[in-house]
Each structure stands twice: as structure tokens, then as C-alpha cells.
């Protein structure tokens, strides 16, 4: 029975079959998508660490001090602690190095966020921080966990109207990036973080 292909044709077919065609980079793995994704995950991790710090604060400083003081934010490489009374601020101030040691042991990533602790006596700030701690999503703490000032985050959003084509495109791109994530809360959180990163 005659060969269906000549030797030369076999060589051509073999070479073609061995050559792996270049597969186009998927949006989730291309550099332009990977970098924002990694940044979003990093911001999310830091924000979640800060929320968990608030929730574990009584374990770190003790129940009595934990009920009368609370981590408020990270600003200018300082962890700001609000307290109800000056006595609590003074007591925690004596324990600042021990507190840092315990916090960094529990949340190693926070070492990159602050290197000192500032204690502020402000009953109003304490009450406000306490009421928001269980309500706010991690993304609302981003201004505290980045190098930006707390006032900078709202200004970002003010530059683009939510109904503008550019804003809608940013939202669509962010939604596409995380569309494969099954957990709706995690998907929404990552999408929100990525939108904030891309806002001008």
C-alpha cells in the first residue's frame, strides 16, 4: 500500500505537530492585569489584617483596656489608638513596645505599615471607630493602609462621575478581571479595590 505522504511531507507534518502555537495571554495572566490584581490583593490583605487587629485588640492589650481603647487608623507610619480617657492612653503608652511586639507577631504584614504607636484621648473618635469597625468593608480603610492621607481617597472618586464612560469602563474591566471568583463577597471586594486603583 502506497504511503499517503512523502518523506518530506512527513517531516513537515511532524515539525508542525511539535511546534506549540503561541497561545494568547488571557486577561487574568497578562502583565497589565496581573500587576493591579497583585496590588488589589495586597491592599485587601493589609485591610483585612487591620480589621482583624481591631477585633483581636482585647486579646492583645487585655479585656479592660480593649474595651476602652481601639485602633483607629494607620497614618504617617503610625498606628493611631483612640481611648476614652487619658489614663488609658497613659497606661498603653507604657506598654507600646510590648503592644508592637504582639501586633507584629499576630499580623506580620503590618510591620510594613507602621513603626510607632500614637495614643489619642478622644471619646468621640473612640465611639466613632467602635461603631464603624463592624460595619465598614476593608476597602474603606485603604486610605489608612496606604501612603495616602485619609482625605486623598474621596478626592480620587470625585474626579470621575459614576455615569461617565471612563468610569463605567474601569468598572467593566475590574468585573471581568475577577469574574471567575465564585465567592460573591470576595469578588465584590476585589473589584472595588481594583476600581479604586485605576481611578485617576
CB–CB of 188/171 below 8 Å? Answer: no
Helix H segments across the chain? 7-18, 31-61, 63-68, 86-94, 96-106, 123-133, 142-145, 152-158, 165-177, 184-198
Residue 112 lies inside a defined structural domain of this protein:
yes
Decide: helix, strand or coil at residue 134. coil
Give the per-residue pLDDT at 45. 61
Give the per-residue pLDDT at 168. 85
| Better-predicted residue by pLDDT, 33 or 127 | 127
Residue 182 lies inside a defined structural domain of this protein:
yes
Residue 59 lies inside a defined structural domain of this protein:
yes
The domain of 157 spans: 28-198
Total tally of structural domains belonging to the chain? 1
Residue 124 lies inside a defined structural domain of this protein:
yes
pLDDT, one tens digit per residue, over 73-92 is: 888 899 999 999 999 999 89
Give the per-residue pLDDT at 118. 94
Residue 19 lies inside a defined structural domain of this protein:
no
pLDDT, one tens digit per residue, over 144-187 is: 444 443 444 444 444 667 788 888 888 888 788 777 777 777 77
Residue 177 lies inside a defined structural domain of this protein:
yes
Residue 52 lies inside a defined structural domain of this protein:
yes
Whole-model pTM?
Answer: 0.51
pLDDT, one tens digit per residue, over 36-81 is: 555 555 555 666 778 888 889 999 999 899 999 999 888 889 999 9
> Phi then psi for 31, rounded to 5 degrees?
-55, -35
Residue 17 lies inside a defined structural domain of this protein:
no
Amino acid at each position: 500500500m502506497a504511503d499517503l505522504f512523502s518523506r518530506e511531507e512527513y517531516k513537515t507534518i511532524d515539525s508542525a505537530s511539535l511546534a506549540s502555537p503561541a497561545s494568547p495571554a488571557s486577561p487574568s495572566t497578562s502583565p497589565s492585569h496581573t500587576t493591579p490584581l497583585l496590588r488589589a490583593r495586597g491592599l485587601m490583605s493589609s485591610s483585612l489584617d487591620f480589621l482583624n487587629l481591631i477585633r483581636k485588640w482585647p486579646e492583645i492589650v487585655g479585656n479592660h483596656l480593649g474595651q476602652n481603647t481601639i485602633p483607629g487608623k494607620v497614618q504617617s507610619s503610625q498606628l493611631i489608638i483612640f481611648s476614652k480617657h487619658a489614663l488609658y492612653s497613659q497606661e498603653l503608652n507604657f506598654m507600646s513596645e510590648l503592644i508592637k511586639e504582639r501586633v507584629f507577631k499576630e499580623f506580620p504584614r503590618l510591620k510594613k505599615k507602621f513603626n510607632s504607636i500614637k495614643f489619642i484621648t478622644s471619646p468621640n473618635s473612640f465611639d466613632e471607630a467602635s461603631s464603624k469597625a463592624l460595619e465598614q468593608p476593608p476597602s474603606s480603610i485603604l486610605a489608612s493602609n496606604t501612603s495616602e492621607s485619609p482625605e486623598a481617597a474621596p478626592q480620587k472618586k470625585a474626579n470621575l462621575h459614576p455615569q461617565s464612560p471612563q468610569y463605567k469602563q474601569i468598572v467593566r474591566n475590574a468585573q471581568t478581571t475577577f469574574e471567575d471568583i465564585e465567592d460573591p463577597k470576595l469578588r465584590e471586594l476585589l473589584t472595588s479595590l481594583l476600581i479604586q486603583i485605576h481611578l485617576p
